[in-house]
Amino acid sequence: MPQTDEHPATPPAHLEFRLEDATHAPSSGNEWWRRSVIYQIYPRSFRDTTGSGIGDLPGITAELHHIASLGVDAIWLSPFFASPQKDAGYDVSDYRAVDPLFGTLADFDELIAEANRLEIKILVDIVPNHCSSEHAMFREALASPRGSAAREHFIFRDGRGKDGQLPPNNWQSHFGGSAWTRVPDPDGAPGQYYLHLFDHSQPDFNWDNPAVGDEFESILRFWLDRGAGGFRVDVAHALIKASGLPDWHGRADGADSPGYPFADAPMFGQPAVHDVYRRWRSICDQYPGERVLCAEANVHPIEAMADWVRPDEMHQSFNFPFLHTGWDAAALKAIITRSLKAFDAVGAPSTWVLSNHDVPRHATRLGAVSPALRPGDGLGPEDVQPDSGLGLARARAATLFMLGLPGGAYIYQGEELGLGDHTLLPHEYRQDPSYARTNGERLGRDGCRVPLPWSDSTPSLGFSDAAGWLPQPEGWETVTRQAQEADPDSTLHFYRLALDLRRTHNLGLGNLNWVEGTDGAQLLGFGNSGVLVLLNLGTAPVPLPAGEVLLASSATAVARSTEAASGLALNPDAAVWLRPETA
């Protein structure tokens, strides 16, 4: 391997730490998506310019320069398509239209123009597994007889049992309850059932029907022609179902359970799904500017997830096992090592992500007092409340650690402000379908979707002139973007510094050498491109080594690049980046 600046064959010596051999091969290319930082915008909670209480595309265009100033490469834009909003836009009624809530196609074009000016790509969130029950194709299917071509766009089946009273199989919706809903025949008699892996308002498409594939290829071209930088692909592992739709006694989300490994789930990871993405990749490749595909493929184990990013398929896949790994040095080391090896094996970068619109924010997760955190659902007013100081300290440490890793990183809007969930959100505001479908047993994901605090200019903290669609928690007036811009030691400035250093040191394209001898201790360290990254997950301070300079610390946003680390300590729940004094 020839030695280059980006990939030194011998890692620089960090005097008091010995580095193991590289965990993975250096990146096999230098395309932007191998080292990218992508910022997720959840439009309804970003910025409202119309007074509707729901964020919109002009709000994104107006504020995009703030996000650009973080130094990110691209935006992943959660759905803004025409939709009845039964699942916050993941129920699409027209894939080629902007929902009036969010604006118009002209507003989208303006957003692209502003993004181009700021040199940021916009990735559109495509939802191919299901649409809305209001979509014209589904309405036509309902109005058409069983066996008709219109019904073949979806998964309609006769029921089981006497008079078809039982659903066609035992599959459960991700949001609770059966995955089947029965509809009347056009003549009003009880008729067939249709499959919906999510809410009953989200019928699954029949991807065995080539017409469905043709329609989505045309939709991809529609957005690529308008300047989209690529797509985040929703539930990318679910499109094809096993023939015969056999019963499944494992978990609805496919996650391993005793006797029911993910690999056997009949609704996920069917081999033919990869043909879809090979076609999509070839479409993206026909456009200039390295348009990309990122899979939301919650596939287990991580080695299987790598199948989604083989050279002729997608570019990236969200690393959910990393997100779900707790505050545990050995577990983090294991999943990072496995991830790098698994993605290396197919020549793809690993991605790293700590928060998104479906999980409790990491500032809440990492401050939760065990066993209060409900899996996937966060915390409600009846639960033991998180330690927000601890959560923020650990969140910043986890972020600094994550941004030191080679590969692509994702940031969810508001984490750069150190936001946690609204854990005291009154139940009457909850809109996530999983709350209603489980009679409140599951809280749903509203707590991590609260409108952003921008300034002190309005009661909804600059989000809107009106009240936001969800109320903000008490105390957010001290963490608005405006307040944090004015505070040089804020979480916002900390993110900016870390992202700047990550770029300067080219960490995204680097490779990783674990620090020897920290196994078992709650101290985790690695070298990447001459930077030594240390995270203290233990309870005692760890003296920092001599001969190093402190580049960044999760405890402060103040650049300290001339300060010697010797004599300083790495406190519990903190992370640092160091470089040798001689470098």
Catalog residues that contact ligand NOJ under the rule CB under 6 A: 87, 90, 127, 198, 234-235, 296, 357-358
Residue 248 Cβ vs ligand NOJ, minimum distance, rounded to whole Å: 18
Q: Smallest distance from the beta carbon of 121 to ligand NOJ, in angstroms?
A: 20
CB of 545 closer than 8 Å to CB of 565: yes
- Shortest Å, Cβ 386 to ligand NOJ: 22
Q: Collapsing DSSP states into helix, strand and coil, what is residue 552?
A: strand
Residue 129 vs 491, nearer CB to ligand NOJ: 129
Q: Smaller CB distance to ligand NOJ: residue 230 or 530? A: 230
**Residues 529, 6 contacting (CB under 8 angstroms):** yes
* Minimum CB–partner distance for residue 253 and ligand NOJ (Å): 10
Residue 87 CB, shortest distance to ligand NOJ, in Å, is 5
**DSSP calls for 569-582:** EE-TTEEEEEEETT
Output the smallest distance, CB 173 to ligand NOJ, in A: 10
């990122």: which residue's tokens? 294
280/274 Cα distance (integer angstroms): 10
Taken in order 251, 232, 358, 73, the sign of the CA dihedral is: positive
Question: Which residues 6+ apart lie within 8 Å of 2 measured at CB?
Answer: none
- Backbone φ and ψ for 378, nearest 5 degrees, come out as 75, -150
Identify the DSSP state of 202: S
* Contact of 151 with 256, CB cutoff 8 Å: no
Give dist(CA 24, CA 416) in Å, integer: 29
| Closer Cβ to ligand NOJ, 83 or 460, answer by number | 83
In three-state secondary structure terms, 182 is strand
Which of residues 7 and 357 has its CB atom nearest to ligand NOJ in the complex?
357
Q: How far apart are CA 478 and CA 388, in angstroms?
A: 14
- Residue 418 Cβ, how far from ligand NOJ at the closest point, in Å? 23
Ramachandran region of residue 58, left (φ > 0), alpha (ψ -120 to 50) or beta?
alpha
Instruction: Tell me the C-alpha to C-alpha distance, in Å, between residue 364 and each of 233, 356, 468, 471.
Output: 26, 12, 21, 17
Of the candidates 244, 44, 87, 88, the one whose C-alpha atom is nearest the C-alpha of residue 174 is 87
Comparing CB distances to ligand NOJ, the nearer of 114 and 296 is 296
Quick one: 64 or 295, whose CB is closer to ligand NOJ? 295
Q: Which residue number, 169 or 434, has a Cβ lying nearer to ligand NOJ?
A: 434
We find the least distance from the C-beta atom of residue 23 to ligand NOJ, in angstroms, to be 30
Instruction: Please identify, using beta-carbon distances, which residue of 17 and 95 lies nearer to ligand NOJ.
Output: 95
* Residue 127 C-beta: closest distance to ligand NOJ, Å: 6
Half-sphere exposure at residue 481, Cβ-oriented, CA atoms within 13 angstroms: 23
Scan for tokens 């803004």, then name that residue: 80
| 89/227 with CB nearer ligand NOJ | 89
With a CB cutoff of 8 Å and minimum separation 6, the contacts of 431 are: 88, 444, 446, 469, 470
User: Least distance to ligand NOJ from the beta carbon of 432, Å?
Assistant: 8
Q: Toward ligand NOJ, which CB reaches closer, 87 or 307?
A: 87
Between the CA of residue 206 and those of 148, 240, 385, 426, what are the distances in Å?
Answer: 13, 8, 43, 38
- Which residue's C-beta sits nearest to ligand NOJ? 90
